[in-house]
């Protein structure tokens, strides 16, 4: 049957449906992507409706994530940039500053200023401000929103000739449409429509990646950086494990599994007495659930307090940080495919866990006094989430289902090692996976696994193929959130500004396909691209490659990704150095960080070099030890010198052979210590 004929038959069928008004575009999901999709469709002259399982609009952007994970702000264009401009307009008024002044706030943002007066944008905001902006957009464009309408995931989709005709919700309401957009974090419409998807991590081998699958060797951040015993009776495996640790193997290194990134609530907290609600003790509170947290904090760790990120009016967007924190590791595996009942149970368990942790740290007498005193200065913000006990109405679903289409966006695309021929927007944030499991290592100590934070090397394009299913599965569906991507690539793409960007691009594609009466897979990219650019989308960012490529370096090079790291090294978010960036010690200066770079060398003379990235905050007395054939030699590096893009420091020419190691520590240093790579250059005798 010709495609145009098939389209006209679908339209005729829709016009004769009695249950519900037919719309050009039906959007399922009231997330930031859903709202932006609706606005773009309306601006392009299409009738549109949002069918929303929630009562609040904006998803996580209005649900506590006000410390925007933006990456390169230059690549955020179109309606996404308009959203952040509206945030700026709100806070430009003195009336917006109720609990502090603008000058007291200090304009702190993530990597750059929160308020950009030149570009008239603001990137950090309170939850209710974001929600109000989404509601304003809906009202201004006269967009219909049906709230608390949940897709019937069993019999809720009517299909004909490869197209969705309508969706039905559990209330019995039917919503006919010509093109559908799944803007949910879970991908329920996509899955119910029979579109292929995956859950969990792929093995590295599947897409030629390095950061996918089980990553015990890379598990350095948000880690137990001092020994913590996992057993009920310390030192006695027979006594059983503490809660929130599993007793299985973490899995074969780099192999795939079913596990997904941990979820949490981005909690809005305050210290302002007039706006502070004391920590609520949750029903079902069990202090035994936090025994591991107690042992962790008794080691002296205070990492958990480093992500009380400031948003306006003396509030925070508080995120997970450290070995035991807000991330409820391992308790969300059933969420992506779970029934509504199962998901509600998981969300409730997460809320009890997180509220219980806050109560525990503030009240349990076994918790160190300085922590209890610190926690009792804080509480929930009284003027946020006022209909939900001041608790976020949206859990952070960092990853659920991911569509599998003809195009899968992967790590090589993000690093720009493979081309992306049909850009519809850009991302730039770190490839960022939170931990997925907590286990006992071979030394009988508790460990987290799954956390990856690697800069892709600058902004990268996202292909149109990521948001369209295979044509033989559905011809009139677009999926801008649960898109076609590998686990580790999704770790970068999954940021709220990018979801808004992709939501706008999805609606643009929908409108153009409706005009041409074609399937979403048949859209001419040149026509599409012109409209995206006309609407302010950023599709390319011309920045030079800032990493020193391994293949360009002579000699035997051991990158930090192949080094043995001990202690709380932190992956830098700066796109500089060798290969995929470098680590730093966070200026600890206490000897807790050690990096060992080892190569097996043929006997001979080698010039030894250690790479670092120069900056004025670097240490000038970094201890380095060269070990080979039983001989140790010591050196001191001045890492303030060299290039801010990365350069090698010479450690001299030496006769070496067999296993040879360069060991770098932060013992008694006077600034940040950098580890990046070590190189052995064959030299004449």
**DSSP states of 21-85:** --EEEEEE--BHHHHHHHHHHHHTT--EEEEESSSSSBGGGGTT--B---SSGGG--HHHHHHHH
Give 197: exposed, middle or buried? Use CB within 10 Å, 0-12, 13-18, 19+: buried
The answer to whether residue 2 scores a pLDDT higher than 60 is: no
Mean pLDDT value across residues 171-187: 98
pTM: 0.84
Give 668: exposed, middle or buried? Use CB within 10 Å, 0-12, 13-18, 19+: exposed
Instruction: pLDDT band for 547, please (50, 70, 90 cuts).
Output: confident
Instruction: pLDDT band for 304, please (50, 70, 90 cuts).
Output: confident
pLDDT of residue 10: 47
pLDDT of residue 465: 98
Mean pLDDT of the chain: 93
Percent of the chain residues past pLDDT 90, beyond the cut: 83
Distance between CA atoms of residues 186 and 94, nearest Å: 39
Instruction: pLDDT band for 230, please (50, 70, 90 cuts).
Output: very high
Q: Which single residue is written with the structure tokens 């929130």?
A: 244
Give 308: exposed, middle or buried? Use CB within 10 Å, 0-12, 13-18, 19+: middle
* Domain residue ranges of the chain, discontinuous segments joined by +: 547-682
Q: For the CA atoms of 30, 33, 34, 38, what is the dihedral angle to 10 degrees?
A: 140
Helices 78-91 and 496-516: angle between axes, nearest 10 degrees? 130
Six-digit token string for 561? 């990704």
Mean pLDDT value across residues 497-512: 98
Cα–Cα distances (Å) from 484 to 22, 157, 190, 499, 537, in that order, read: 28, 21, 11, 13, 20
Q: Which single residue is written with the structure tokens 């990553």?
A: 215
Over the range 83-116, which residues count as b (16 or more CB within 10 Å of their CB) and which as e?
A: bbbbbbebbeeeebeebeeeeebebebbeebbbb
Distance between CA atoms of residues 427 and 60, nearest Å: 18
The answer to whether residue 317 scores a pLDDT higher than 90 is: yes
Cα–Cα distances (Å) from 208 to 83, 205, 257, 547, in that order, read: 36, 5, 16, 20
Instruction: pLDDT band for 573, please (50, 70, 90 cuts).
Output: low
Tell me the per-residue pLDDT of 86-143, one tens digit each, with 9 for 90 and over. 999 999 999 999 999 999 998 888 777 899 988 999 999 999 999 999 999 999 999 9
288: left (phi over 0), alpha (psi -120 to 50) or beta: alpha
Closest by alpha carbon to 643, among 613, 680, 675?
Answer: 613
Tell me the per-residue pLDDT of 603-614, one tens digit each, with 9 for 90 and over. 999 999 999 999
pLDDT of residue 15: 40
Instruction: pLDDT band for 546, please (50, 70, 90 cuts).
Output: low
Lowest mean pLDDT, pick from 200-214, 265-279, 298-312, 336-350: 298-312
Mean pLDDT value across residues 447-466: 93
Distance between CA atoms of residues 539 and 529, nearest Å: 8
Mean pLDDT value across residues 624-643: 93
Check: CB of residue 436 under 8 Å from CB of residue 449: yes
pLDDT of residue 110: 79
Give 191: exposed, middle or buried? Use CB within 10 Å, 0-12, 13-18, 19+: buried
Mean pLDDT value across residues 636-650: 91
Other beta carbons less than 10 A from residue 70's beta carbon: 23
Instruction: pLDDT band for 8, please (50, 70, 90 cuts).
Output: very low
Other beta carbons less than 10 A from residue 636's beta carbon: 11
Six-digit token string for 87? 């945030």
pLDDT of residue 544: 56
Mean pLDDT value across residues 254-260: 97
**Chain centroid, CA 22 distance in Å:** 36
The answer to whether residue 552 scores a pLDDT higher than 90 is: no
Tell me the per-residue pLDDT of 46-100, one tens digit each, with 9 for 90 and over. 999 999 999 999 999 999 999 998 888 999 999 999 999 999 999 999 999 999 9
Distance between CA atoms of residues 141 and 42, nearest Å: 7
First to last CA, the chain: 77
Closest by alpha carbon to 79, among 54, 61, 96, 100?
Answer: 61
Question: Spelled out in words, what is the top-level CATH class assigned to the domain 547-682?
Answer: mainly beta
Six-digit token string for 609? 């070099």
**DSSP states of 586-613:** TT--EEEEEEEEEEEEEEEEEEEEEEE-
pLDDT of residue 279: 98
Six-digit token string for 351? 């809320």
The answer to whether residue 545 scores a pLDDT higher than 60 is: no
Instruction: pLDDT band for 305, please (50, 70, 90 cuts).
Output: confident
Instruction: Provide the 3-class DSSP secondary structure of residue 659.
Output: strand
Please give the DSSP secondary-structure letter assigned to residue 443: T
Tell me the per-residue pLDDT of 10-40, one tens digit each, with 9 for 90 and over. 443 444 333 578 999 999 999 999 999 999 9
């Amino acid at each position: 049957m010709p495609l145009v004929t098939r389209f006209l038959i679908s339209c005729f069928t829709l016009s004769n449906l009695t249950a519900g008004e037919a719309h050009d575009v039906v959007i399922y999901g009231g997330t930031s992507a859903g709202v932006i999709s609706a606005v773009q469709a309306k601006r392009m002259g299409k009738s549109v409706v949002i069918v929303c399982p929630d009562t609040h609009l904006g998803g996580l952007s209005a649900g506590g994530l006000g410390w925007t994970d933006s990456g390169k702000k230059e690549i955020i264009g179109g309606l996404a940039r308009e959203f952040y401009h509206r945030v700026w307009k709100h806070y430009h008024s003195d009336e917006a500053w109720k609990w502090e002044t603008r000058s007291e706030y200090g304009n702190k943002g993530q990597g750059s200023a929160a308020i950009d007066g030149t570009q008239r944008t603001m990137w950090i905001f309170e939850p209710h401000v974001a929600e109000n902006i989404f509601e304003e957009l809906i009202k201004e464009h006269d967009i219909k929103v049906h709230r608390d309408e949940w897709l019937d995931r069993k019999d809720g989709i009517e299909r004909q000739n490869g197209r969705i005709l309508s969706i039905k919700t559990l209330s019995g309401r039917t919503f006919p449409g010509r093109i559908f957009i799944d803007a949910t974090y879970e991908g329920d419409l996509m899955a119910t429509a029979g579109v292929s998807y995956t859950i969990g991590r792929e093995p590295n081998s599947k897409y030629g990646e390095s950061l996918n699958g089980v990553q015990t060797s890379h598990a350095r951040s948000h880690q137990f950086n001092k020994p913590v015993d996992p057993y009920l009776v310390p030192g006695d495996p027979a006594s059983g494990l503490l809660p929130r640790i599993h007793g299985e193997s973490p899995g074969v290194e780099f192999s795939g599994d079913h596990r997904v990134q941990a979820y949490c609530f981005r909690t809005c907290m305050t210290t302002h007495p007039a706006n502070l609600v004391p920590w609520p003790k949750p029903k079902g509170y069990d202090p035994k659930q936090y025994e591991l947290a107690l042992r962790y904090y008794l080691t002296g760790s205070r990492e958990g307090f480093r992500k009380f990120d400031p948003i306006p009016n003396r509030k925070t967007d508080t995120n997970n940080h450290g070995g035991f924190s807000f991330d409820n590791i391992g308790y969300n595996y059933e969420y992506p495919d779970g029934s509504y009942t199962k998901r509600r149970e998981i969300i409730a368990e997460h809320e009890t866990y997180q509220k219980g942790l806050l109560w525990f740290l503030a009240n349990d007498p076994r918790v160190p006094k300085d922590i209890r005193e610190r926690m009792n200065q804080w509480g929930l913000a009284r003027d946020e989430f006022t209909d939900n006990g001041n608790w976020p109405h949206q859990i952070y679903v960092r990853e659920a289902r991911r569509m599998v289409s003809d195009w899968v966006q992967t790590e090589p695309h993000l690093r720009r090692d493979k081309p992306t021929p049909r850009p519809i927007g850009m991302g730039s944030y770190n490839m960022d996976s939170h931990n997925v499991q907590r286990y006992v290592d071979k030394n009988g100590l508790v460990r987290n696994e799954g956390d990856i934070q690697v800069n892709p090397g600058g902004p990268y394009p996202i292909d149109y193929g990521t948001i369209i299913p295979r044509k033989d599965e559905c011809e009139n569906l677009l999926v801008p959130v649960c898109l076609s991507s590998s686990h580790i690539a999704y770790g970068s793409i999954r940021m709220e500004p990018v979801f808004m960007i992709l939501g706008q691009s999805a609606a643009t594609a929908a409108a153009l396909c409706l005009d041409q009466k074609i399937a979403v897979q048949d859209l001419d990219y040149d026509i599409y691209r012109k409209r995206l650019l006309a609407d302010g989308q950023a599709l390319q960012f011309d920045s030079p490659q800032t990493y020193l490529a391994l293949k360009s370096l002579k000699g035997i090079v051991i990158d930090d990704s192949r080094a043995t790291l001990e202690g709380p090294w932190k992956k830098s978010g700066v796109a500089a150095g060798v290969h995929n960036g470098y680590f730093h010690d966070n200026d600890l200066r206490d000897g807790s960080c050690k990096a060992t770079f080892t190569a097996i060398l043929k006997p001979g003379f080698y010039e030894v070099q250690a790479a670092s990235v120069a900056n004025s905050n670097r240490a000038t007395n970094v201890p380095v030890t060269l070990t080979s054939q039983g001989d140790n030699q010591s050196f001191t590096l001045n890492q303030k010198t060299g290039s801010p893009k990365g350069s090698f420091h010479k450690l001299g020419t030496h006769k070496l052979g067999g296993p040879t190691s360069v060991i770098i520590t932060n013992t008694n240093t006077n600034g940040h210590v950098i580890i990046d790579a070590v190189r052995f250059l064959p030299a004449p005798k």
